[in-house]
């Protein structure tokens, strides 16, 4: 579960080009649900995703995560379920939480050219200090799951749009994060591939994952497995007063 | 801890695959880097080697050599001087020497002919240096003729070749008998090339030399120290050329490092942004770049050093020889005794690997401190 309490995010504050992209959002995102943030371009969706995903810190407000965070209770073995406030965490811990909690799918896929599909998928696991062959096993299993088994050693430049997209999702899942965050995932996809993407989201939901998707594509917000649509406008949840 | 080691191993793996990925760029980088190390290390090995050869040579040089003088120039010395010198207080011994140069038009080379004092050679026997044996293709048992002062050819029988610890000393050396020497050069029996003097107390060398000069106005004593100084100045002069070479290489290297420092390619920046976005810490990205720099550095450094070693000690610094040696034609084949000064290698290391690594880290650090969400906004 992710809780946001009166979260604000401003850019270039104190300068002439100051801009408040998120201006006070309170929101609770339940585990194992698919939530879509919808709204026009510039409404603050991407900014909100980056705050939720611990990529950036809010200017004010609190964000708390409930989950099992390895390395936070000091004992070995499966950590207890606990709630932590990420807004006050030091940078290093924030990254650790992010590595274990979130998988990111970007609009441009952002695969790294020159590397193979398999190498790209294993990238997020590199700093975790897990044995290479263990990561590799998991990566191959993910590739099989997404029908990319035969493409493991292909360079990412050679992939079709659909293959690149599925590779990007596989990469987001390599560290087995409970939450998948996707920013405009269908922006570069045709309708068929967009529906395919939503099918994968349904599959992830079946496996217990939480999904948070920012999109102004109706194909996404109107898909069947979506539990909740949060409409945004001017950095606020639509309909709520500033 | 093991996790940390494992993560560094993974980052290192990633670094190596990144290096292979940018083959073209890294190959040219490696080439320039290796070349710079090669030039610097060659110069270093060469100078060091030559200094050692000279030191070996000097060790053999007597403390005082007395030459005869005529009209202010060198002249064979009368052996009557021998007794006078021996009578000076503090002189341990005085001996005459017979040695000279012979220009061989066939080989186009100057040989050093020497009557050895620690070895008896009789009649027309000679012992020749390796360099000479190689150039003239004469071996023990063969006959070698030299044109004497009277115009006649005088045959010598090669008795053996000359093995020595330093080829610089022996390459063009010919050992002859006293009779052979005198008849070839037409030197009368009462004269010698010079007189070598040993002194009981090294601190009295200058006093003894002064006494010799006073007693024998037509003779000139030469001290080993003076010879050493001449050598040093020659090496300093050659060292000057090398210094120019060195600074040029370092300049090229600085430009290379600066080029590397002044910016990463857009593609590299994008890659760093992606890594940050998918959960790499700033320190992970920097670690990857440091490993990359180290790897290129160590590879180029080792390779450059090895090639330089081979170049200087096995090809006799073939690339430098024309500029730096310019001695007898026999020398291009002479080999410097391999010798590496660890201190100089360390200096070279700190002049190349360290600044290069630093140069790669700075721009990477600047790129790596981007916010992880930067990728989402492009
Ligand atoms: N780093 C930034 N610096 C300045 N302004 C920014 C920055 N990031 C986003 N913004 C601004 O914040 C607003 C919201 O952007 P964004 O969150 O990307 O909206 P959306 O994803 O809904 O299109 C935009 O007007 C954008 O220009
Ligand atoms: Mg956006």
A127 with B277: Cβ contact below 8 A: no
Cβ–ligand 1 distance for A50 under 6 Å, the answer: no
User: Which CATH number describes the domain made up of B64-224?
Assistant: 2.40.40.20
Helix H, strand E, coil C: the string for B183-227 is HHHCCCCCEECEEEEEECCHHHHHHHHHHHHHHCCCEEEEEHHHH
Question: Complex ipTM, two decimals?
Answer: 0.90
Cβ–ligand 1 distance for A75 under 6 Å, the answer: no
Q: What is the pLDDT of residue B321?
A: 63
Distance A216 CA to ligand 1 centre (A): 15
Show Cβ contacts of residue A190 under 8 Å, excluding neighbours closer than 6 positions.
Answer: A161
Q: Whose CA is nearest to atom 7 of ligand 1?
A: A11
Residue given tokens 């029988």 in the structure block: B157
Q: What structural domains does chain A harbor?
A: 2-237 (3.40.50.300)
Rounded CA separation A32/B362 (Å): 43
Q: What is the pLDDT of residue B105?
A: 83
DSSP assignments along B104-131, one per residue: ETTTTEEEEEE--SSS---TTEEEEEHH
Lookup: tokens for B54? 């000279």
Counting every residue, how long is chain A?
242
What Å distances lie between residue B313 and B307, B309, B310, CA to CA? Answer: 10, 6, 5
CB-based contact B89:B206 (threshold 8 Å): no
B13 at interface of A, judged by CB pairs closer than 8 A = yes
Q: What is the pLDDT of residues B270-324, one digit of tens each?
A: 899 999 999 999 999 999 988 888 888 889 999 999 999 998 888 877 776 665 5
Give the phi and the psi of residue A182 in degrees, each rounded to 5: -130, 130
Chain A hits for B268, CB-CB cut-off 8 Å, are: none
Distance B374 CA to ligand 1 centre (A): 11
CA-wise closest residue to B138 among B107, B103, B169, B100: B107
Cα B62 to chain center, whole Å? 24
Q: How many CB pairs under 8 A join A and B?
A: 81
- Map residue B69 onto helix, strand or coil: strand
CA-wise closest residue to B127 among B117, B113, B137: B113
Rounded CA separation B251/B272 (Å): 30
Specify burial of residue A202 (Cβ count, 10 A radius: 0-12, 13-18, 19+): middle
Specify burial of residue A152 (Cβ count, 10 A radius: 0-12, 13-18, 19+): middle
Residue given tokens 């017979």 in the structure block: B98
Shortest distance, CA B371 to any CA of chain A (angstroms): 7
CB-based contact A130:B6 (threshold 8 Å): yes
Q: What is the pLDDT of residue A67?
A: 77
Show Cβ contacts of residue B253 under 8 Å, excluding neighbours closer than 6 positions.
Answer: B33, B36, B352, B355, B356
Specify burial of residue A103 (Cβ count, 10 A radius: 0-12, 13-18, 19+): buried
Cβ–ligand 1 distance for A45 under 6 Å, the answer: yes
Residues with pLDDT less than 70, chain A: 69-79, 239-242
DSSP state of A111: P
Please report, for chain B, the start and end positions of each structural domain, with discontinuous segments joined by +: 2-58+233-377, 64-224
Cα B7 to chain center, whole Å? 45
Residues with pLDDT less than 70, chain B: 57, 163-171, 230-242, 257-258, 260-263, 320-335
A171 with B280: Cβ contact below 8 A: no
Distance A45 CA to ligand 1 centre (A): 8
């Amino acid at each position: 579960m992710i809780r946001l309490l009166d979260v604000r995010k401003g850019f270039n504050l104190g300068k002439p080009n100051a801009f408040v992209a998120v201006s006070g959002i309170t929101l609770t995102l339940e585990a194992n649900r698919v939530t879509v943030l919808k709204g026009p371009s510039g409404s603050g969706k991407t900014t909100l995703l980056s705050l939720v995903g611990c990529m950036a810190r809010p200017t004010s407000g609190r964000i708390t995560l409930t989950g099992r965070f390895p390395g936070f209770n000091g004992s070995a073995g499966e950590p207890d379920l606990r709630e932590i406030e990420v807004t006050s965490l030091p940078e290093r811990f924030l990254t650790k939480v992010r590595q274990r909690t979130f998988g990111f799918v970007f609009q441009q896929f952002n695969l790294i050219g020159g590397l193979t599909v398999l190498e790209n998928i294993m990238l997020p696991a590199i700093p975790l200090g897990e044995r290479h062959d263990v990561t590799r096993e998991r990566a191959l299993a993910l590739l099989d799951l997404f029908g990319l088994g035969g493409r493991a050693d292909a360079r990412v430049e050679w992939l079709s749009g659909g293959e690149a997209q599925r590779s990007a999702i596989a990469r987001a899942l390599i560290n087995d994060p409970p939450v998948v965050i996707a920013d405009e995932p269908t922006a570069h996809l045709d309708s068929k591939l967009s529906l395919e993407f939503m099918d994968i989201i349904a599959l992830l939901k079946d496996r217990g994952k939480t999904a948070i998707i920012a999109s102004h594509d109706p194909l996404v917000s109107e898909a069947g497995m979506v539990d909740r649509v949060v409409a945004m406008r001017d950095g606020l949840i639509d309909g709520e007063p500033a | 801890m093991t996790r940390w080691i494992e993560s560094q191993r993974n980052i290192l793996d990633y670094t190596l695959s990144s290096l292979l990925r940018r083959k073209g760029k890294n190959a040219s980088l490696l080439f320039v880097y290796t070349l710079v190390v090669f030039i610097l290390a060659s110069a270093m090995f060469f100078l060091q080697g030559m200094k050692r050869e000279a030191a070996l040579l000097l060790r053999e040089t007597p403390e005082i050599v007395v030459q005869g003088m005529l009209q202010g120039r060198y002249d064979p010395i009368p052996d009557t001087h021998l007794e006078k010198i021996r009578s000076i207080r503090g002189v341990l011994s005085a001996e005459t020497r017979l040695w000279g140069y012979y220009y061989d038009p066939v080989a186009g080379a100057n040989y050093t002919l020497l009557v050895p004092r620690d070895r008896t050679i009789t009649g027309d026997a000679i012992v020749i240096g390796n360099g000479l044996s190689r150039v003239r293709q004469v071996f023990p048992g063969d006959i070698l003729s030299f044109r004497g002062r009277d115009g006649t050819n005088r045959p010598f029988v090669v008795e053996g070749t000359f093995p020595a610890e330093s080829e610089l000393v022996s390459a063009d050396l010919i050992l002859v008998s006293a009779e052979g020497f005198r008849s070839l050069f037409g030197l009368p029996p009462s004269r010698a090339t010079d007189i070598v003097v040993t002194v009981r107390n090294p601190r009295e060398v200058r006093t003894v030399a002064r006494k010799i000069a006073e007693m024998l106005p037509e003779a000139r004593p030469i001290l080993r120290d003076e010879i050493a100084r001449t050598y040093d100045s020659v090496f300093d002069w050659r060292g000057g050329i090398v210094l120019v070479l060195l600074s040029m290489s370092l300049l090229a290297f600085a430009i290379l490092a600066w080029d590397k420092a002044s910016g990463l390619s857009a593609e590299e920046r994008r890659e760093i942004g992606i890594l940050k976005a998918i959960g790499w810490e700033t320190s992970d990205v920097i670690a990857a770049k440091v490993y990359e720099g180290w790897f290129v550095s160590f590879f180029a450094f080792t390779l450059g050093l090895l090639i330089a070693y081979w170049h200087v000690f096995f090809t006799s610094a073939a690339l430098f020889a024309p500029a730096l040696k310019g001695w007898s034609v026999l020398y291009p084949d002479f080999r410097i005794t391999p010798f590496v000064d660890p201190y100089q290698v360390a200096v070279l290391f700190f002049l190349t690997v360290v600044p290069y690594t630093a140069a790669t880290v700075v721009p990477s650090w600047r790129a790596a401190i981007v916010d992880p969400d930067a990728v989402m906004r492009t």
